[in-house]
């Protein structure tokens, strides 16, 4: 497949007349051909007109058609072949195995949502039959289903050029819900984006769906993204990126004439709590695993373990020494973009420059675009006194906070902003102490994990990749896993509709065979 640098607007490929830009090879900083024509506001308008027109038809596609569509996207992505992986490697600097894995994850995610669509439970069908004889008032017939909210704007993320990008989790869940999607590609991987976008475009055509179900727009600046969120035709927004970016979109969305939800996954330092029993029993092993997790993908994960809490003592000293030793052996890794690298360097310098922060180790230095790992430590009182110490440093650096006792450690946790994950490392002897902290952790995070690290987010039914603000803009949701579809649905109730006017899932003979709750009972087909 050749990459042309065109915007994909419905079934068309259109060279944008806005400012053009090129992808940058992450490892070298060299531009990669071709040039991408930034979308104009007219291009955006056309994409949204098509999306609006497509919504009526697409929202009422039968479940099998919609599931097949998601599977076809998956097939088309695989059909691109190695060109996709190579282009993503060049644009992101991420290594081949990671990108092959990410492709598998992206395809698997689309297939999972195909299963969610076929199952039909996401429709939350409910029927409260009429009770004409009820006193003092008869009860009407009430039926409920979830409907899609409307066209959804999705922003590609820099750090997952496949799984959180053009056909990533936001797009997959919005399409599964029945919403057309307009993607604003991340300018760090436009070629990867175009390849995947063309795969989706092919799937739309192959499945006979209205072209407006999907469009892909390029812009190296902010105009198109901001206009997309501000447009009255957009019903919801999916975003993974920086806190500043997410907050800017939230502000646009909340000050529209009609405010809309923004599902922004923004910033998290993912505390790791090391309990004494576990540290004593296997501090070295935990330290090595930590070093592996914090440097994975150059530390460019939303779930990167950036904060480690432990109790003062020999065991913690040993952990710090072992983690420092492991990190100091870690080669520097190419970061996603020069901008991300610069922000990382700035964040590390700020941390290192803090009077009370001590450097434990730095990883090996590398090329100018490569992020050098880092490990620092600070005492809990200092951490508690300075909120700046809990700012996310996006990259392979961790901060150990030395706590005097469990009470102080608990106060450190209580001082944290909302997080995506918290990990606790425990042995049998730590269970009581861990149990006492769990209620606090639950209020702070979307996922609690034991004896592991948050990197590696399983695409599953019981996954929450979310968490209280500012980890996300909306802690009631997840952007990974089957529950992510709920972000793009809303319930509608139908009262006393004759059967021929009811939507298919609610007709009396249940032609879809989807599970339905009658009078609030267990769902049955």
What is the b/e burial string over 430-439, where b = at least 16 CB atoms within 10 angstroms of the residue's CB?
Answer: beebbeebee
The two structure tokens encoding residue 135:
């006193």
> Least distance (Å) from a second copy to the CB of residue 54?
13
> Least distance (Å) from a second copy to the CB of residue 178?
12
> Least distance (Å) from a second copy to the CB of residue 466?
7
Q: How far apart are CA 292 and CA 104, in angstroms?
A: 22
**Site for a second copy, residues 86 to 115, rule: CB under 8 A:** 101, 115
Question: Does residue 442 bind a second copy (CB under 8 A)?
Answer: yes
- Indicate the SS3 state at residue 145: strand
Binder of a second copy out of 132, 208, 353, 520 (CB under 8 A): 520
* Chain centroid, CA 25 distance in Å: 24
**Site for a second copy, residues 123 to 142, rule: CB under 8 A:** 124, 126-128, 136-137, 139-140, 142
> Least distance (Å) from a second copy to the CB of residue 13?
30
Enumerate the H helices of 399-508 as residue ranges: 406-415, 431-444
* Residue 263 CA: distances (Å) to CA of 47, 146, 348, 417: 21, 18, 28, 18
Which stretch, 22-30, 169-177, 309-317, 461-469, contacts a second copy (CB under 8 A)?
461-469
Question: Does residue 463 bind a second copy (CB under 8 A)?
Answer: yes
Which stretch, 64-72, 211-219, 336-344, 490-498, contacts a second copy (CB under 8 A)?
490-498
Q: How far apart are CA 7 and CA 185, in angstroms?
A: 10
- Indicate the SS3 state at residue 41: helix
**Site for a second copy, residues 230 to 269, rule: CB under 8 A:** 250, 254, 258-259, 261
H or E element, residue 201: helix 190-206
Binder of a second copy out of 19, 53, 83, 119 (CB under 8 A): 119
> Least distance (Å) from a second copy to the CB of residue 35?
37
Binder of a second copy out of 133, 407, 500, 509 (CB under 8 A): 500
352 versus 494: smaller Cβ distance to a second copy: 494
Catalytic residue among 265, 377, 392, 417: 265
Question: Does residue 387 bind a second copy (CB under 8 A)?
Answer: no
Question: Does residue 366 bind a second copy (CB under 8 A)?
Answer: no
Q: How far apart are CA 401 and CA 385, in angstroms?
A: 12
Half-sphere exposure of 30 (CA within 13 A, CB side): 5
Binder of a second copy out of 108, 493, 508, 511 (CB under 8 A): 493
# binding residues, a second copy (CB under 8 A)? 82
25 versus 469: smaller Cβ distance to a second copy: 469
> Least distance (Å) from a second copy to the CB of residue 408?
19
Nearest alpha carbon to residue 93 among 34, 1, 159: 159
* Residue 112 CA: distances (Å) to CA of 401, 418, 519: 39, 28, 30
Which stretch, 40-48, 163-171, 390-398, 452-460, contacts a second copy (CB under 8 A)?
452-460
Question: Does residue 143 bind a second copy (CB under 8 A)?
Answer: yes
* Chain centroid, CA 239 distance in Å: 7
- Indicate the SS3 state at residue 387: helix
> Least distance (Å) from a second copy to the CB of residue 491?
5
DSSP code string of 367-378: -TTEEPPEEEEE
Question: Does residue 490 bind a second copy (CB under 8 A)?
Answer: yes
Question: Does residue 342 bind a second copy (CB under 8 A)?
Answer: no
Question: Does residue 116 bind a second copy (CB under 8 A)?
Answer: yes
**DSSP character for 255?**
T
CB–CB of 167/139 below 8 Å? no
CB–CB of 233/53 below 8 Å? no
CB–CB of 140/132 below 8 Å? no
> Least distance (Å) from a second copy to the CB of residue 401?
22
* Chain centroid, CA 215 distance in Å: 20
Nearest alpha carbon to residue 18 among 38, 35, 4, 36: 38
Binder of a second copy out of 133, 208, 501, 509 (CB under 8 A): 501
Question: Does residue 61 bind a second copy (CB under 8 A)?
Answer: no
Longest CA–CA separation in the chain, Å:
80
Q: How far apart are CA 19 and CA 21, in angstroms?
A: 7
Half-sphere exposure of 68 (CA within 13 A, CB side): 11
Binder of a second copy out of 27, 86, 452, 510 (CB under 8 A): 452
124 versus 312: smaller Cβ distance to a second copy: 124
Which stretch, 27-35, 297-305, 328-336, 477-485, contacts a second copy (CB under 8 A)?
477-485
Binder of a second copy out of 39, 99, 107, 149 (CB under 8 A): 149
Question: Does residue 292 bind a second copy (CB under 8 A)?
Answer: no
In the residue annotation, 302 being an active-site residue is answered as: yes
Which backbone phi and psi does 134 adopt, to 5 degrees?
-60, 140
For the window 388-417, what string marks contact with a second copy as x by the rule CB under 8 A? -----------------------------x
For the window 412-441, what string marks contact with a second copy as x by the rule CB under 8 A? -----xx------------x--xx--xx--
What count of other Cβ atoms lies within 10 Å of the Cβ of residue 521? Answer: 10
Catalytic residue among 76, 91, 179, 302: 302
**Which residues are marked as active site?**
265, 302
């Amino acid at each position: 497949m050749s990459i042309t640098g065109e915007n994909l607007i419905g079934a068309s490929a259109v060279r944008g007349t806005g400012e053009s830009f090129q992808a940058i090879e992450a490892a070298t900083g060299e531009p990669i051909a071709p040039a991408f024509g930034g979308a104009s506001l007219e291009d955006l308008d056309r994409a949204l007109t098509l999306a609006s027109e497509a919504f009526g038809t697409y929202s009422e596609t039968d479940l099998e058609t919609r599931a097949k569509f998601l599977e076809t996207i998956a097939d088309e992505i695989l059909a691109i072949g190695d060109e996709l992986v190579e282009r993503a490697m060049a644009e992101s600097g991420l290594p081949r195995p990671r990108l092959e894995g990410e492709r598998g994850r992206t395809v698997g995610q689309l297939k999972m949502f195909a299963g969610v669509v076929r199952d039909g439970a996401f429709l939350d069908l409910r029927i409260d039959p009429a009770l004409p004889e009820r006193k003092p008032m008869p009860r009407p017939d009430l039926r409920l289903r979830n409907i899609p909210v409307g066209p959804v704007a999705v922003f590609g993320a820099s750090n997952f050029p496949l799984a959180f990008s053009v056909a990533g989790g936001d797009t997959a869940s919005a399409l599964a819900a029945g919403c057309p999607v307009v993607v604003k590609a991340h300018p760090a991987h436009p070629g990867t984006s175009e390849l995947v976008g063309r795969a989706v475009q092919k799937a739309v055509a192959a499945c006979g769906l209205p072209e407006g179900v999907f469009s892909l727009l390029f812009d190296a600046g902010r105009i198109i993204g901001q206009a997309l969120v501000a447009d009255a035709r957009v019903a919801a927004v999916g975003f993974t990126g920086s806190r500043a970016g997410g907050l800017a979109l939230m502000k646009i969305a909340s000050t529209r004439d009609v405010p809309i939800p923004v599902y922004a996954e923004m910033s998290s330092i993912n505390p790791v709590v090391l309990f004494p029993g576990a540290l004593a029993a296997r501090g070295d092993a935990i330290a090595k695993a930590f070093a592996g997790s914090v440097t994975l993908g150059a530390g460019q994960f939303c779930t990167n373990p950036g904060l480690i809490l432990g109790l003062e003592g020999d065991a913690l000293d040993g952990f710090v020494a072992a983690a420092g030793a492991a990190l100091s052996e870690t080669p520097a890794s190419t970061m996603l973009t020069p901008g991300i690298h610069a922000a990382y360097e700035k964040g590390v310098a700020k941390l290192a420059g803090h009077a009370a922060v001590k450097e434990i180790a730095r990883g090996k230095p590398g090329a100018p675009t490569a992020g050098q790992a880092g490990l620092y430590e600070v005492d809990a009182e200092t951490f508690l006194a300075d909120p700046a110490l809990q700012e996310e440093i996006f990259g392979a650096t961790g901060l150990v906070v030395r706590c005097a006792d469990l009470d102080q450690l608990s106060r450190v946790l209580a001082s944290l902003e909302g997080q995506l994950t918290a990990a606790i490392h425990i042995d049998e002897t730590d269970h009581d102490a861990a149990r006492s902290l769990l209620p606090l952790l639950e209020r702070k995070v979307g996922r609690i994990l034991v004896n592991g690290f948050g990197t590696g987010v399983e695409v599953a039914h019981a996954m929450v990749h979310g968490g209280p603000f500012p980890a996300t803009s909306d802690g009631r949701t997840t952007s990974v896993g089957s529950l992510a579809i709920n972000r793009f649905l809303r319930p509608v109730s139908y009262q006393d509709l004759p059967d021929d006017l009811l939507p298919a899932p609610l007709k009396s003979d249940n032609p879809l065979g989807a599970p339905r709750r009658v009078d609030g009972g267990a769902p049955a087909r």
